[in-house]
Amino acid sequence: MNKDWWESPEFLHPGHAFCAGCGFIIAFRHILKVLGADTIVAITAGCLGTNSGFLPSSPIKVAGYNTPFASVAAAATGIRAALDARGNSLTQVIAVAGDGGTYDIGLQALSAAAERNENFIYLCYDNEGYMNTGVQRSSATPLGAWTTTTPEGKAGPKKDLPAIMMAHRIPYFATLTPAFPEDFLAKARQAEAIKGMRFLQLLSPCPPGWGIPSQATVKLARLAVQTRVFPLYEVYDGKRIILNLEPEKVPVKDYLRAQTRFRTLSDEEMEHVQKEVDFHWAELKARADWFASKADDAAL
């Protein structure tokens, strides 16, 4: 992280209404710094929707447009089409939505835009629940997590959205967190450089939703990567997988115990989660290794 980067223009005013320690807003600030002034943000309901301003002012310094919950990918499609119609291929369009607007209510529009390979960046801030309405389950909520609508702990596992996005064969997919700034910046810049649908999956620790102190956001995001719960990787064209980091394995229970939302998980259940994490890691690593060994194969 060089000095120039920190001194590059900011596109988020101080004084926004996000919670202290919100993982998303750190990432949003940085992605706007990467994309710069010539950007239009499509925003949907969720924490960014409600915090994108209170008439007449907004904390966001680039052009932005709020659209109803289910429609952020469709709105970004429309913005892109309008820019193209007027011969403007330079302005970047970015759609931003939480896991509700992405995994659940917005999945239809997202899937369709991905299938059409629309030319915009989609940033999903995944805080693993409907946090803006006060912590309810979403299909991104992990197994066993407490929410107000799963007081006994969520029954099933988290929906595998990366697999769904990969199945669309989009040009670029990447996972990122606020805990690894160099990795984050490299991926944001990569997304900026590619054309077509680019999907950024941000793990966004949420202090009120996860039951963590405000200052623990970065630590939790780092633990998620170190425990391999949230691996850092990129996928090109839905096929070629690159693992960006192969951390020493930290036990998953260290991550789970740091959050009160997993308070009802027994040791046995934590063991089960550990097995699931190990399985997915092995699968991901095997695929990444296979592609690494075929790096020069033009047929890919």
Partner 1 sequence: MKELLTGNEAVARGIGLARVEVVSAYPITPQTSVVEEVAKLCAAGKLKTRYIRIESEHSSMACTAAASMTGVRAFTATSSQGLAYMHEMLHWASGSRLPIVMVNVNRALGAPWNLWSDHSDSLSQRDTGWLQLYCHTNQECLDTLIQAFRLAETVLLPVMIVMDGFILSHTMEPVDVPRPEDVDAFLPPYEARYRLDPREPHVFNILADSRDFMRMRRQAHEDMNRAVELLEDIELEFQNTFSRSYGVLEAYLTEDAEVVLVGLGATCGTVKDVVDELRRQGFKAGLVRIRMFRPFPARKLREILLNQKKVAVLDQAVSMGAGGTLSQEVKQALFDDPHFRTREAPLVFSFITGLGGLDITPEMLERIFKETIHASGPQEEPCWMED
Shorter beta-carbon distance to partner 1: residue 78 or 251: 78
Candidates 45-53, 128-136, 153-161, 204-212; binding stretch for partner 1 (CB under 8 A): 45-53
Q: Does 130 bind ligand SF4 (CB under 6 A)?
A: no
Q: Does 50 bind partner 1 (CB under 8 A)?
A: yes
* Interaction pattern, residues 18-37, with ligand SF4; x per rule: CB under 6 A: xx--x-x-------------
Site for partner 1 in 253-292 (CB under 8 A): none
Compute the least distance from the CB of residue 22 to ligand SF4, in Å: 3
Compute the least distance from the CB of residue 28 to ligand SF4, in Å: 10
Compute the least distance from the CB of residue 19 to partner 1, in Å: 17
Q: Which does 209 bind (CB under 5 to 8 A by kind): ligand SF4, partner 1, none?
A: ligand SF4
Q: Does 132 bind partner 1 (CB under 8 A)?
A: no
* Interaction pattern, residues 194-213, with ligand SF4; x per rule: CB under 6 A: ----------x-xxxx----
Three-state secondary structure of the chain: CCHHHHHCCCCECCCCCCCCCCHHHHHHHHHHHHHCCCEEEEEECCHHHHHCCECCECCECCEEEEECHHHHHHHHHHHHHHHHHCCCCCCEEEEEEEHHHHHHCCHHHHHHHHHCCCCCEEEEEECCCECCCCCECCCCCCCCCCECCECCCCCCCCCCHHHHHHHCCCCEEEEECCCCHHHHHHHHHHHHHCCCCEEEEEECCCHHHHCCCHHHHHHHHHHHHHCCCCCCEEEECCCEEEECCCCCCCCHHHHHHCCHHHCCCCHHHHHHHHHHHHHHHHHHHHHHHHHHHCCCCCCC
Compute the least distance from the CB of residue 276 to ligand SF4, in Å: 25
Site for ligand SF4 in 170-189 (CB under 6 A): none
Nearest in space to 199 (alpha carbons), one of 221, 163, 170, 237: 170
Compute the least distance from the CB of residue 168 to ligand SF4, in Å: 26
- Give the number of residues in contact with ligand SF4, rule: CB under 6 A: 13
Q: Which residues bind partner 1 (CB under 8 A)?
A: 37-43, 50, 52-55, 58, 60-68, 70-71, 73-79, 81-86, 91, 108-109, 111-112, 116
